[in-house]
Chain A
């Protein structure tokens, strides 16, 4: 089945530094990947849609200069949290659809295992 790999699974950084999180589709190609954020005991909130070869689309209220997204290939999207602050501490999860054989909105989203970011 479709596997989405996320790295690192856990990262602790100091306030003011930047952190990069990678999301890879291991056995399929994805022109679009989605980045979610999840606070403790909360649901998943979509942050942005990562588009291969073009700019990401950010949801309302998400700072694009703070959360830099790069989707350089059909199997890799990266999220960089710039100048991280303690309030950025959260669980970040990426997801992608298996678009093998053509783009299909109906293919279900598969999620990575998430990255726990702690900013001290």
Chain B
């Protein structure tokens, strides 16, 4: 099935650094979502974006819905060890209940 192009695949950073990851698609999505998954658990919703150009924050996390509706990015500022995990972007097309997921970005934060 279709998947989103998510990059980078993995990141190794020092505690306190900022992080940026993004997702792109060849087609338009009406909704972009960002999830975090810890090992052995289900994804947890971080941020939901519903409008092109929308910029939304959740604590140290900021995500934007691209103007073209074909991309989205997630920024994490001042990373901490508990930010470690896999971050997934997900897109939803208009009129569809289904989500399409990116392949994930594995984040490692060194104390």
Contacts and interface: CB of A to CB of B under 8 A. Distances in A.
Given A105-B92, A108-B48, A44 B97 contact: no
Q: How large is the interface on B (under 10, 10 to 19, 20 to 34, 35 or more residues)?
A: 20 to 34
Nearest to B100: A46
Interface residues of A, number: 26
SS of A interface (majority):
strand
Nearest to B47: A108
Contacts of B102: 43
Interface in B11-38: 31, 33, 35
Interface of A: 4, 6, 32, 34, 42-46, 49, 59-60, 91, 93, 95, 97, 105-106, 108-114, 116
Interface of B: 1, 3, 31, 33, 35, 40-45, 48, 50, 88, 90, 92, 95-99, 101-104
